[in-house]
Each structure stands twice: as C-alpha cells, then as structure tokens.
C-alpha cells in the first residue's frame, strides 16, 4: 500500500519535474535526484541551495532539473535513468541509498557523468562526494559539553551506517574534550524524514533528561520540539535558526554550491574525471551557522575549535581513542585515517548505547 502510494508520488513528481524544463541543445543539462522535498530545510534543502548557486553562477550555460521525494533503493533507478534518457549530461544523486542504482544506470549511459553523494563506490563515469560533517559535529560536541546543565545530550540517529556512527563518535569526542561527564543518549528512528517521529524521539530524549537535542535526520521537527520546551538544539544540514530563534546553538550547514559549480565547469570544458571528494571546513563544504544562545566564552571556544579544525591543527579523531570494549583503536598521537573513518562501524568509549547490527 505504502509502496504503491510512494510509486504514485514518484510518477507524479517525475512528471512534474520533467515537464518543467524545456529542452535546449547548447546548454549543459544537470539533473538532481532528491531524497526529500527541497523545502525540508535540511538535507535536500541544502542540495537545492547548491543547485540554485550553480544556476546563478553559470547562468545560460546550464539548465537544471530535479526530481524530489525519490525513495532510496531499487525504485530510484527509474528516476535516475529518466534523467539520463532526457539528455542530462551530469547527474547528482544526493543520498547514500542511491549508490547501487546510480552505478547500474551509469553502466547503461557511459557518456553521462554521475556524482553520488556520501557513497563509497565509483566507476569511470561515477564520482563520489561527501562532506566531513563530523568536523562540525565535533564543534557541536564542544558546545554541548559546555552548555548542558544535565550533562545529558539527546542524539536522534537515522540509520546505523558509518556516516551516522562517525557523527555520533565525533560529537562525543568533542563533548568529552571539555566535559568528561557528558552522556550521549542515542535513539534510532530508522528514517531520514518523518517529522512526527523525529519530534517523538526528541520529546522522549528530553523526558529522559536531555537538555540539548542534536539530530541526524532531515526535518526541523526535533528542533521545534526542543523550542517548545525552552531547551537547546543544533540545526542539521542548513541554518534552522528561523525555526528556533532561542533554541538553535549552531548548525552544520552543508555548502554544496561551490562543488556543483566546479563539477559542472569541468564537464563544460571537458576536464571531468572520476574523483572521490571528501571536503570539510577547510574547503568550505561544511560551514558552521552563527554560534547563538550561548555565553560569549563558549562561543569563543567554539570559534577557536572550528578555526583549529579548519587550519588542520586539530583532527576530531585524534588518539588515544578507545572503542566501547576499551581497546585502543587509534593510538596516542595518531589520527584516524580516512579508511577507518569511511567504514566506521563501532562506537567510541562513552557512548551510552549499543550499536544496532
């Protein structure tokens, strides 16, 4: 039933999106596959902001199309193929679950360039790109460690994949760097976007004593739930200050625009090649929203921490780091390499949760 409705929704959405653009031969057609609606003010919103930047920067040289609300998994294959069939030469698939469908479609359309966000598999015409969100989460952890009065932070997690686990670990390491008593309570909601459920999770975490909520889901519902109780929260993927002027401490803002511009330019001048981009604060792919609703000294500390990460003086995953069993996984003085970060499937010591299998 639900699936049927989803399919109807995709069919509708694809029809809408694809009829919106009119074909024109000399322009580079750039397609985007979105997981949610561009108005989620989270993940998809951030990608759409990137798309708009691309349009603004390259003007007449490009024409963009997006398909929204495309479910992850096999269903997405048709939506991606549809873009490829309709003359799009560069296609961004913006969620982890589009990985296999993207590779499959890419094989059928060797002349089309594909860019898959947050994945780890590439091919001759599939690049991957992701941002080092964990850098921002470390800064958030530092802030939470200073601001929390109950020493309990609520973390709303989506799916147990390395990306999310890495975020939880970075947050905890940041918090413990300034306050070893911080406890992080994790709730898995198994969805990227389900506002009532995200709000439920936030309420439950606050019921259990959390006074700061952070999330790895895409809607503003959790932040709004914290606002209703007069507590604090972090925005996710975009600056959500508008939804909680007295609630948001800061937000990880995903800044995809410069990357989209660079890749489209590369296609235009024929220099595009497969790349695995993993940029962070230094390159400006992760930007922190203004530090608000906190004492000046905490804001100063957060600014300093972000600056150290940006300049490369501080790596969030600097040893010694132990896993939950107490074994040293990163020795003192070393930093976790990208391989470990990309495949992270363990909690660091101190996370108050058992990682779902």
Partner 1 sequence: MTELIIASIMTMMTAATPLVFAATGELVAEKSGVLNLGVEGMMLIGAVFGFAAVTLTGEPLLGLAVGILTGLFASMIFAVLTLSLLSNQVATGLALTIFGTGLSALVGLDYVGKTIEQIRAIYIPVLTDLPIVGRLLFGHDPLVYAGILILGLTHWFLKHTRWGMILRAVGDSDQSAHAIGYPVIAIRYAAVAFGGAMAGLGGAYLSLVYTPLWAEHMTAGRGWIALALVVFASWRPTRVLLGAVLFGGITILQLNAQAAGLGIPASFMSMLPYIATIVVLVLISRDATRIRLNAPACLGRPFRAER
Among 105, 147, 205, 289, binds partner 1 (CB under 8 A): 205
> Using CA atoms, how far apart are residues 136 and 120, in angstroms rounded to an integer?
21
Asked whether position 201 contacts partner 1 by CB under 8 A, the answer is yes
Of 209 and 290, which has the nearer Cβ to partner 1?
209
Asked whether position 246 contacts partner 1 by CB under 8 A, the answer is no
Asked whether position 278 contacts partner 1 by CB under 8 A, the answer is no
Q: Which residues partner with 119 through β-bridges?
A: none
Distances (CA, A) of 117 to 35, 182, 321: 11, 32, 28
Asked whether position 187 contacts partner 1 by CB under 8 A, the answer is yes
Asked whether position 291 contacts partner 1 by CB under 8 A, the answer is no
Asked whether position 52 contacts partner 1 by CB under 8 A, the answer is no
Task: Give the per-residue contact string, 65-104, with partner 1 (x = CB under 8 A; - = no).
Answer: ----x-----------------------------------
CA 252 to chain centre: 9
> Using CA atoms, how far apart are residues 268 and 286, in angstroms rounded to an integer?
26
Asked whether position 8 contacts partner 1 by CB under 8 A, the answer is yes
CA 80 to chain centre: 20
Asked whether position 185 contacts partner 1 by CB under 8 A, the answer is yes
Number of residues interacting with partner 1: please give it, by CB under 8 A: 50
CA 347 to chain centre: 19
How many CB atoms sit inside 10 A of residue 356's CB?
Answer: 10
The interface region with partner 1, picked from 173-181, 213-221, 280-288, 322-330 by CB under 8 A, is 213-221
Of 241 and 309, which has the nearer Cβ to partner 1?
241
Asked whether position 7 contacts partner 1 by CB under 8 A, the answer is no
> Using CA atoms, how far apart are residues 246 and 61, in angstroms rounded to an integer?
42
Of 40 and 115, which has the nearer Cβ to partner 1?
40
Asked whether position 207 contacts partner 1 by CB under 8 A, the answer is yes
Asked whether position 200 contacts partner 1 by CB under 8 A, the answer is yes
Angle of helix 99-108 relative to helix 76-85, nearest 10 degrees, comes to 30
Among 27, 41, 51, 132, binds partner 1 (CB under 8 A): 41
Binding interface with partner 1 (CB under 8 A): 1-2, 4-5, 8-9, 12, 37-41, 45, 69, 154, 185-190, 193-201, 203-210, 219-221, 224-225, 228, 242-243, 352-354, 356
């Amino acid at each position: 039933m639900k699936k049927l409705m989803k399919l109807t929704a995709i069919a509708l959405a694809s029809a809408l999106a694809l009829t919106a653009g009119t074909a024109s031969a000399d322009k580079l057609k750039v397609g985007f596959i979105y997981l949610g609606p561009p108005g989620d003010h989270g993940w998809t919103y951030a990608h759409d902001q990137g798309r708009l930047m691309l349009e603004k920067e390259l003007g007449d040289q490009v024409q963009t199309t997006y398909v929204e609300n495309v479910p992850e998994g096999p269903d997405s294959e048709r939506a991606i193929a549809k873009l490829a069939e309709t003359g799009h030469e560069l296609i961004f698939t913006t969620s982890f679950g589009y990985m296999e469908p993207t590779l499959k479609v890419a094989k059928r359309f060797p002349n089309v360039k594909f860019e898959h966000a947050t994945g780890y598999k590439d091919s001759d015409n599939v690049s991957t790109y992701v941002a080092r969100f964990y850098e921002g989460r470390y800064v958030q952890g530092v802030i939470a460690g200073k601001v929390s009065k109950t020493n309990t932070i609520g973390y709303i997690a989506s799916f147990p994949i390395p990306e999310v686990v890495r975020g939880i670990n970075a947050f905890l390491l940041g918090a413990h760097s300034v306050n070893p008593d911080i406890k992080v309570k994790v709730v898995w909601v198994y969805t990227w976007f389900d506002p009532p459920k995200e709000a439920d999770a936030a309420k439950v975490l606050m019921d259990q004593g959390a006074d700061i909520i952070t999330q790895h889901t895409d809607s503003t519902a959790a932040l709004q739930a914290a606002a209703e109780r007069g507590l604090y929260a972090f925005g996710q993927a975009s600056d959500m200050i508008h939804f909680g002027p007295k609630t948001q401490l800061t937000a990880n803002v995903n800044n995809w625009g410069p990357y989209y511009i660079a890749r489209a330019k590369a296609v235009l001048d024929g220099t595009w090649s497969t790349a695995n981009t993993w940029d962070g604060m230094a390159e400006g792919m992760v930007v922190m929203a203004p530090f608000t609703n906190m004492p000046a000294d905490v804001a100063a500390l957060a600014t300093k921490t972000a600056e150290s990460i940006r300049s490369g003086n501080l790596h969030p995953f600097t040893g010694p780091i132990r896993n939950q069993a107490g074994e040293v996984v990163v020795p003192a003085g070393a930093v976790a390499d990208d391989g470990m970060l990309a495949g992270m499937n363990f909690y660091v010591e101190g996370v108050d949760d058992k990682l779902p299998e």
